[in-house]
Amino acid sequence: MSRTTYREALRAALAEALERDPRVILMGEDVAAYGGAYAVSKGLAERFGRDRVRDTPLSEGGFVGAGIGAALGGLRPIVEIMTVNFSLLALDQIINNAATARHMSGGQLGVPVVIRMATGAGRQLAAQHSHSLEGYYAHVPGLRVVAPATLEDARGMLATALRSPDPVIIFEHVGLYNLEGELADDAGAVDLDRAAVRRPGRDVTLITSGGSLGKVLTAAEQLAARDVEAEVIDLRTLRPLDDATVMASVRRTRRAVVIDEGWRTGGFAGEVVARIAEQAFYELDAPVARVCSAEVPIPYPQHLEQAALPQVEGVVRAAMQAVGRG
Amino acid sequence: MTTPSSQQRLRDMMLVRRFEERCAELYGAGKIRGFLHLYIGEEAVAAGLLPALGPADTVVATYREHGHALLRGVPARAVMAEMFGRVSGCSRGRGGSMHLFDAERRMYGGWAIVAGHLPVAVGLALADRTLGRPQVTACFFGDGAVAEGAFHEAMNLAALWQLPVLFVCENNLYAMGTALERYQAQPDLVLRARGYGVDAASVDGMDVEVVAAAARDAVERVRAGKPFLLECRTYRFRAHSMFDAELYRGSDEVARWKQRDPIALLAGRLRTRGQLDDAALAALEQDVAREVEDAVSFADASALEPIEELTRHVMAEVAP
Ligand SMILES: Cc1ncc(C[n+]2csc(CCOP(=O)(O)OP(=O)(O)O)c2C)c(N)n1
Ligand SMILES: [Mg+2]
């Protein structure tokens, strides 16, 4: 075991990928000379050269499209979009091109591109820099969407994503980059299929992913102090969803709360709730609840931003209500 | 609109400089949070440009816009309170450093998606043209924006429809940590505008008098009904934002540019002309320091918006 951070785990995964396969390239804004907006790729350009770790212009549609083309042409590109907010400029490429090429070519073409981006709020970056739009991507057939929430997943998801014959989107929550902990020295590839039970419990299932996992685990501890044993599920992969793990838990606890930093209306949490309603309705003892962001663009001041986002207290409250003690 | 004296321009630049130096300190003290992009080194662009506009003209800018807001006449108090996230801020504290708005003074932002505001500027000009108003829209953006599709689409639209937009490219040679020649196949940015039929000129953006003369000329052309792009060659002395380790440029390069500090440049020239002495400079310094400290005190004493109002200002509150 070694002490490491989420950022370092991501960097180790990138370095290993570049090391192992000459077809792998990393490109994006400020990944080389600047060292990455969140310092994830720091040192990689020096190590692998500017051809394989390539700075791009501010042209999200252009370089994401080029990543798709390079994947079609036989490379294994890792495209870094600085944040999900700017991925909107590349949404056309991702949804209209990457996600459709296999299908509309009748299975002849595949787009093995990996697109990484930072996501989420919490750093007082205001309305245009605080989006959580994972749900937009999880909506689209043809994409695989993952959200590493732990050091193991930060270290291991990339390698598996690069083996995927289809596009994979990796969401890295900005609040996680400094997450510190122990990681096995031989940590490596992990699956991109299964949700993980991060804490077992029998009274209520708390379902979440990415940047919200830490808050939900804290909530589970507070619940335990009040004799409520919450089971915490980290979805890990937002598309395709691992229904089996979710339903197995909900069938045992008979209660569920879904926690998602996206907005409530039309959001990703609603999809999880709908699946529970479809597949486990008769086993439920309480309405399934959601803890999501308030219906407001994220405001700059700290007190308003924090009030807009899912918080530990809100999760505890929803869970207590679900177990009939709210 | 009266042309400001050179002394006034000096004061304008000093105000912006002082204001931002205080912001950097207040960032360290945790009073200002989030992203903070300082304009230090680039003041001559805003100080040369903004006085060339009339009160009914519109200003649209980026996230590096403290100087534009201040020189547009947004009170330093309201700008500082915005940086503090207070309800007395020019955007009620909702926007912070990157989103300074003041509709009354036609300061239309404060936008932080690179190049996203260029088409918006085109639309503002379209409204003016359609409604028969003689206004111009001045749109500020960085060199990095020229790589975005939105820049190219905006150029074409403005030229195609002959709209009164003044595009002001603040070319500080870097988009974050990527140097212009590393991301532009054609680093001569005015050629980009001309390629779309938008007339363009490039000037020394460190010399406020040069910028001011070019601005007067450009605004006149735009008001006559044609878009124009003015490239101001400038340099940011500070990091891109408060998180930047500046691995991409040498301190010697920064030092070289600092020798062309726009404030020192103008002050030196005024001294040579006998229009400024030590006492006058000291008085100016005191004067702007007083204005900035007053803004800080005001911001610090201002209230936070109550949490109960969290979901306000999402949709209009008075139904149409
Ligand atoms: C579409 C988009 N992509 C990326 C970013 C992140 N970003 C913010 S500022 C910046 C550099 C912009 O450089 P430039 O346009 O030259 O303006 P400067 O900061 O130098 O004033 C980048 C990459 C963004 N805000 N918007
Ligand atoms: Mg620039």
Say which CATH number the domain at B221 has: 3.40.50.970
Let me know: does B165 contact B117? Beta carbons within 8 Å: no
In a domain, B57, yes or no: yes
**Mean pLDDT, all residues of chain A:** 98
Specify whether A212 is located in the same domain as A308: yes
User: pTM for the complete prediction?
Assistant: 0.97
Q: Looking at the 3D structure of chain B, how many domains does it have?
A: 1
Q: Examine the pLDDT at A238 and tell me if it is beyond 70.
A: yes
In a domain, A203, yes or no: yes
Asked if A57 and B183 come within 8 Å (Cβ–Cβ), the reply is yes
Specify whether A27 is located in the same domain as A170: yes
Q: What is the CATH number of the domain that holds A88?
A: 3.40.50.970
Confidence of residue A326 (pLDDT cuts 50, 70, 90): confident
Mean pLDDT of the B59-65 span: 98
In a domain, A117, yes or no: yes
The pLDDT of residue B283 is: 97
**Mean pLDDT, all residues of chain B:** 97
Q: Examine the pLDDT at A315 and tell me if it is beyond 70.
A: yes
Question: What ipTM score was computed for the predicted complex, to two decimals?
Answer: 0.95
Specify whether A174 is located in the same domain as A274: no
Q: How far apart are CA A82 and CA A298, in angstroms?
A: 19
Q: Examine the pLDDT at B4 and tell me if it is beyond 90.
A: no
Mean pLDDT of the A8-17 span: 98
Rounded to 5°, angle at Cα A147 from A39 and A265: 115
Mean pLDDT of the B17-26 span: 98
Q: Looking at the 3D structure of chain A, how many domains does it have?
A: 2
Closest among B96, B123, B111, B106 to B62, alpha carbons compared: B111
The SS3 of residue A181 is strand
Specify whether A202 is located in the same domain as A234: yes
Q: Examine the pLDDT at B243 and tell me if it is beyond 90.
A: no
Structural domain containing residue A296: 196-322
Q: Which two tokens stand for residue B141?
A: 């953006």
C-beta B168 within 6 A of ligand 1: no
Q: Examine the pLDDT at B237 and tell me if it is beyond 60.
A: yes
Identify which of A34, A58, A79, A87 to mutate to test ligand 1's pocket (most ligand atoms within 8 A of the CB): A58
Confidence of residue A54 (pLDDT cuts 50, 70, 90): very high
In a domain, B301, yes or no: no
Q: Examine the pLDDT at B146 and tell me if it is beyond 80.
A: yes
Write the single-letter amino acid at B265: L
In a domain, B277, yes or no: yes
In a domain, B196, yes or no: yes
In a domain, A189, yes or no: no
Q: Examine the pLDDT at A115 and tell me if it is beyond 90.
A: yes
In a domain, A315, yes or no: yes
Note which residues in 110-129 of chain B have CB less than 8 A from chain A.
111-115
Write the single-letter amino acid at A320: M
In a domain, A160, yes or no: yes
Structural domain containing residue B72: 6-296
CA-to-CA separations, A317 to A58, A260, A290, A324, B293, in angstroms, rounded = 43, 15, 11, 11, 44
Specify whether A200 is located in the same domain as A175: no
In a domain, A41, yes or no: yes
Last residue of a domain, one of A125, A156, A183: A183
Say how many CB pairs under 8 Å bridge A and B.
122
Q: How far apart are CA B17 and CA B11, in angstroms?
A: 10
Specify whether A229 is located in the same domain as A104: no
The SS3 of residue B259 is coil
What DSSP designation does A324 have?
T
pLDDT digit string, tens, across residues A13-50: 999 999 999 999 999 999 999 999 999 999 999 999 99
Mean pLDDT of the A85-107 span: 98
Share of chain B above pLDDT 70, in %: 99
Q: Which two tokens stand for residue A300?
A: 């700059």
Mean pLDDT of the A287-297 span: 98
Q: How far apart are CA B68 and CA B84, in angstroms?
A: 18
Identify any residues that bridge with B174 across adjacent strands, giving them in sequence order.
Answer: B179
Q: Examine the pLDDT at A204 and tell me if it is beyond 90.
A: yes
Q: Which residues contact B283 (CB under 8 A, 6 or more apart)?
A: none
Note which residues in 17-46 of chain A have CB less than 8 A from chain B.
29-30, 33-35, 37, 39
Q: Examine the pLDDT at A157 and tell me if it is beyond 80.
A: yes
In a domain, A190, yes or no: no
Specify whether A135 is located in the same domain as A232: no
The pLDDT of residue B1 is: 57
Last residue of a domain, one of A154, A183, A212: A183
Asked if A57 and B147 come within 8 Å (Cβ–Cβ), the reply is yes
C-beta B142 within 6 A of ligand 1: yes
Specify whether A206 is located in the same domain as A168: no
Mean pLDDT of the B174-186 span: 97
Q: How far apart are CA A196 and CA A246, in angstroms?
A: 9
Q: Examine the pLDDT at B2 and tell me if it is beyond 80.
A: no
Asked if B153 is an interface residue toward chain A (Cβ–Cβ < 8 A), one would say no
Q: How far apart are CA A132 and CA B61, in angstroms?
A: 25
Note which residues in 245-264 of chain B have CB less than 8 A from chain A.
245, 247-248
Specify whether A179 is located in the same domain as A289: no
In a domain, A74, yes or no: yes
Q: How far apart are CA A312 and CA A301, in angstroms?
A: 19
Q: What is the CATH number of the domain that holds A225?
A: 3.40.50.920
Ligand nearest to the CA of A80: 1
Q: Examine the pLDDT at B320 and tell me if it is beyond 80.
A: no
Residues of A with a catalytic annotation lie at 60, 129
Specify whether A179 is located in the same domain as A200: no
Specify whether A209 is located in the same domain as A298: yes
Asked if A129 and B35 come within 8 Å (Cβ–Cβ), the reply is yes
Specify whether A43 is located in the same domain as A169: yes
